[in-house]
Structure 1
């Protein structure tokens, strides 16, 4: 009987390992990118934060320090949020562009909504192509 269980376990393992790997969901993948960039901002890691920017952003801010200074000046709630949570997400053109709504409580006590635009890159990965921030946490949809 033990031999039968061993054979069944081996067959099940063979089937599981022979299944093709499922690609990560683009919505989840892009959420992780946003979280990783926010973590980099919280650690004042300009190089890591800059690495998540899309080529168009890097063309406007060709240096990580210029980029970091712009974020500090114009995107304080994103640069150092008190708390944040993901709201709605929308995938456009079969995942070519993904929008995420991020609800942020700033360190100053004010609430904000940041809309992240994520753009699929030629290698299939995603980069942050822009962020629009408004003083409001009420979800208006994307």
Structure 2
């Protein structure tokens, strides 16, 4: 019974993944959500895994990376809540710019523009974030 249930869940997950595997925006948003959740739980290894090779070459360890995010991007590091805004694809999805509206501590609102690059293995990685104090979507 347990094996049957596990197979059912696995099948549902695979079908779900297959349904959006070709959608660059959905994939990029999943990466961003994964990294934000890793920041929230101080999981340096998981957060670092979402970073592009270029970012990883600048910050050689996951702890250096986490410390940089903590100091430079506190609204991203400790987002109270966030919502996705507009997206822009470049080159058919090789590059995705994704607007993320963030509510941070003390009720301050921010707009983060994530740049994600498609890697050779088909995964998206965060290649940079621009952060500005803002309360409304202005587009990319």
SS of 2:67 mapped into structure 1 = helix
Q: Aligned residue for 1:10?
A: none
Structure 1: how far apart are the matches of 2:123 and 2:67?
A: 26
Q: Which runs of 4+ in 1 moved over 6 A?
A: none
Offset at residue 48 of structure 1 (A): 0.3
Residue 76 in structure 1 maps to residue 70 in structure 2: no
Number of residue pairs the alignment of both structures matches: 122
Q: Distance in 1 between the 2:59 and 2:106 partners? A: 27
- For 1:92 and 1:137, the matched residues in 2 are separated by 26
Offset of 1:27 from its aligned partner?
0.5
3-state DSSP of counterpart to 1:117:
strand
The reply to whether residue 114 of structure 1 matches residue 117 of structure 2 is: no
Q: Which residue of 2 aligns with 1:34?
A: 32
Other-structure match for 1:124: 122
TM-score, normalization by structure 1: 0.83
Displacement after TM superposition at 1:24 (Å): 3.3
Q: What displacement does 1:34 show?
A: 0.3
Unmatched 5+ residue regions in structure 2? 1-17
2:12 matched residue in structure 1: none
Greater helix proportion: 2
Confirm whether residue 139 of structure 1 aligns to residue 120 of structure 2: no
TM-score (norm 2): 0.84
Counterparts of 1:17-56 in structure 2, within 5 Å, are: 23-56=21-54
